[in-house]
């Protein structure tokens, strides 16, 4: 068989569209890994975001209505927030920041701050997540929370809420309402009863894990969800796509439920084995001694069981702090982040490519015109230096040139403004792209870069990349790179 005919042998080797790639921040050789661990919710199992978040929103709304709050007219707006936004609980704002933590876009309630107000409020502010003032919304589970918080800030400003609260207490109320155990339990009960409505099946995910298992990797599931929910969801999403007589349980060497991540990575919690279908627990004072299904525990016990060091294990999750930041920081596990919105983001960027080229060309012309204007201004200033006699003619020529450049810049701005506005509304009309703020990387992009060795839109993208591939990090660009090197690098990445 010719090598080129591999696609005919197995269509899964066909080149995937760009949005289904796996992107590399730090070189990672899949072949040398000994174990791959997975989070479940929004990693192995994807939910129809609007269906799930609309239900979660409804639970909070009904709970607040029960407290007498005037929330009967509130409706979940899936466009009001994106992943990676940060709540300023002191001022009741939701903001998007760049990679340095400077705030580039802000909403108070559901209204955008105008340019001057934003500058007055935040020009001297850098986000520091150690300060309880800021809460970052890093998962898809937080979209409903951002939305209802923004809407409630509007009500609070109109003094329509029956309780006197500050913006921070209002945020705590929303957070506590959704995380109340019974609320989460009810929601999960609804999902187990009607998984078709909520779960977005992907037949390639079990296939990708099967490839990895057959390549000799230990496959782990480490989830914060409980046993009943995990069993129902995994069975629904995996069993139908696995070979006959195989269920999801045979796929995994180790299943850990109720893991309490992120504490799982640093903690010393004891582990219990689940010994019956109903979830009966048996203590394991000697740690994890064999494959099976366990509750709680900690990452040290996993490493001991696998006889692995941190760098032998890849952990794949969708939560930048709970899954990826802690596993890397504390255990030095290798990390992969799942960001489903990347698919829409990359599609939008691809569609906008022509306009982006025009925008970049116009910005280049504006930069050049501004340099010329600056030089003319300096020439005028030097010409006017006391004691220096300047021919009137020279002065008039300079003034005329300055006016001409100013007009040129104004004309360019007229062309640039609508294109820049369109670029700022890609993916989301309020917040724009996930990974960028204007020309710069977003705060989220910086976190991804720091904590995730690789990132991708979904686990099934591993199907094409195979368990034997080595990902090499991108050369990256720096502002001082010679132009030719920059374009060479861009070409290489295309
Ligand atoms: Mg998750």
Cα 33 to chain center, whole Å? 25
Ligand 1 centroid distance, CA of 315 (Å): 12
Number of domains in the chain: 3
Residue 260 region, left (φ>0) first, then alpha (ψ -120 to 50), else beta?
Answer: left
Same domain, yes or no, for 188 and 232?
Answer: no
Which residue, of 384, 400, 425, is where some domain finishes?
A: 425
Query: What would the mean pLDDT of 152-164 be, rounded to a whole number?
Result: 92
Which residue, of 168, 193, 218, is where some domain finishes?
A: 193
Q: pLDDT by residue (tens digit) across 421-437?
A: 999 999 999 999 999 99
Q: Please indicate, yes or no, if residue 189 is contained in any of the structural domains.
A: yes
Ligand 1 centroid distance, CA of 222 (Å): 10
Same domain, yes or no, for 174 and 201?
Answer: no
Same domain, yes or no, for 36 and 111?
Answer: no
Same domain, yes or no, for 53 and 64?
Answer: yes
Same domain, yes or no, for 208 and 319?
Answer: yes
Contact status, residue 138 vs residue 87, Cβ threshold 8 Å: no
Same domain, yes or no, for 370 and 314?
Answer: no
Ligand 1 centroid distance, CA of 43 (Å): 6
pLDDT surpasses 50 at 463: yes
Ligand 1 centroid distance, CA of 141 (Å): 9
Least confident of 63-77, 201-215, 323-337, 352-366: 323-337
Same domain, yes or no, for 294 and 406?
Answer: no
CA distance 88 to 171: 10
Which residue, of 425, 442, 471, is where some domain finishes?
A: 425
Q: pLDDT by residue (tens digit) across 369-420?
A: 999 999 999 988 888 776 666 666 778 889 999 999 999 999 999 999 999 9
- If we measure between CA atoms, which residue out of 266, 268, 261 comes closest to residue 320? 261
Ligand 1 centroid distance, CA of 40 (Å): 6
pTM of the model: 0.92
Ligand 1 centroid distance, CA of 329 (Å): 18
Helices and strands, counts by H and E, the chain = 19, 21
Ligand 1 centroid distance, CA of 41 (Å): 4
Same domain, yes or no, for 93 and 136?
Answer: yes
Q: Please indicate, yes or no, if residue 270 is contained in any of the structural domains.
A: yes
- Count of beta carbons in the 10 Å neighbourhood of residue 480: 7
Q: Please indicate, yes or no, if residue 177 is contained in any of the structural domains.
A: yes
Ligand 1 centroid distance, CA of 216 (Å): 25
- Count of beta carbons in the 10 Å neighbourhood of residue 263: 16
Q: Please indicate, yes or no, if residue 14 is contained in any of the structural domains.
A: no
Ligand 1 centroid distance, CA of 28 (Å): 22
Same domain, yes or no, for 140 and 76?
Answer: yes
Ligand 1 centroid distance, CA of 140 (Å): 9
Q: pLDDT by residue (tens digit) across 278-325?
A: 999 999 999 999 999 999 999 999 999 999 989 999 999 999 888 888
Q: Which two tokens stand for residue 74?
A: 């509130």
Ligand 1 centroid distance, CA of 462 (Å): 18
Ligand 1 centroid distance, CA of 336 (Å): 12
The residue segments making up the domain with residue 382 are: 353-425
State the pairing for strand pair 28-29/35-38.
unpaired
Which residues partner with 29 through β-bridges?
470
Burial of 279 (0-12, 13-18, 19+ CB in 10 A): middle
């Amino acid at each position: 068989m010719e090598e080129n005919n591999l696609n005919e042998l197995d269509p899964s080797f066909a080149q995937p569209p760009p949005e289904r790639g796996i992107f590399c921040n730090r070189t990672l050789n899949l072949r040398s890994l000994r174990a791959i661990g997975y989070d479940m919710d929004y990693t192995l199992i994807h939910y129809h975001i609007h269906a799930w978040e609309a239900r979660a929103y409804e639970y909070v709304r009904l709970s607040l209505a029960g407290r007498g709050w005037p929330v009967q007219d509130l409706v979940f707006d899936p466009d009001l927030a994106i992943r990676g936004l940060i709540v300023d609980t002191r001022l009741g704002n939701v903001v998007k920041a760049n990679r340095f933590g400077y705030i580039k876009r802000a909403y108070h309630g559901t209204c955008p701050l105008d340019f001057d107000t934003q500058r007055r409020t935040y020009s001297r502010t850098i986000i520091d997540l150690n300060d309880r003032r800021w809460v970052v919304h890093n998962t898809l589970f937080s979209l409903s929370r951002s939305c209802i918080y923004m809407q409630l800030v509007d009500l609070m400003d109109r003094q329509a809420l029956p309780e006197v609260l500050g913006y921070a207490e209002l945020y705590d109320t929303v957070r506590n309402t959704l995380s109340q155990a019974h609320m989460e339990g009810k929601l999960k009960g609804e999902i187990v009863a009607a998984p078709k409505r909520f779960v977005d099946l992907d037949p390639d995910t079990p296939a990708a894990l099967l490839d990895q298992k057959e390549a000799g990797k230990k496959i782990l599931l480490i989830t914060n969800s409980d046993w009943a929910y995990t069993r129902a969801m995994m069975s629904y999403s995996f069993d139908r796509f696995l070979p006959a007589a195989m269920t999801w349980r045979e796929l995994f060497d180790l299943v850990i439920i109720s893991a309490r991540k992120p504490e799982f990575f640093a903690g010393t919690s004891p582990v219990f084995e689940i010994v019956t279908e109903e979830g009966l627990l048996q203590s394991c004072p000697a740690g994890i001694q064999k494959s099976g299904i366990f509750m709680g525990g900690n990452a040290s016990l996993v490493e001991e069981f696998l006889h692995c060091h941190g760098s032998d294990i890849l952990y794949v999750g969708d939560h930048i702090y709970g899954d990826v930041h802690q596993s890397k920081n504390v255990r030095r596990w290798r990390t992969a982040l799942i960001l489903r919105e990347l698919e829409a983001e990359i599609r939008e960027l691809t569609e906008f490519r022509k306009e982006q080229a025009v925008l970049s060309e116009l910005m280049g012309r504006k930069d050049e015109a501004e340099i010329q204007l600056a030089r003319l201004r300096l020439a005028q200033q030097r010409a006017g230096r006391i004691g220096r006699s300047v021919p009137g003619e020279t002065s008039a020529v300079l003034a005329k040139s300055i006016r001409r450049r100013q007009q040129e810049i104004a004309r360019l701005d007229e062309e640039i403004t609508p294109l820049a506005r369109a670029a700022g509304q890609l993916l989301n009309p309020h917040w724009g792209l996930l990974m960028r703020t204007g020309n710069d990387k977003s705060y989220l992009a910086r976190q991804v870069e720091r904590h995730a060795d690789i990132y991708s839109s979904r686990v099934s993208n591993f199907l094409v990349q195979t368990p034997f591939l080595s990902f090499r990090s991108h050369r990256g660009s720096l502002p001082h790179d010679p132009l030719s090197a920059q374009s060479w690098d861009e070409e290489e990445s295309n």
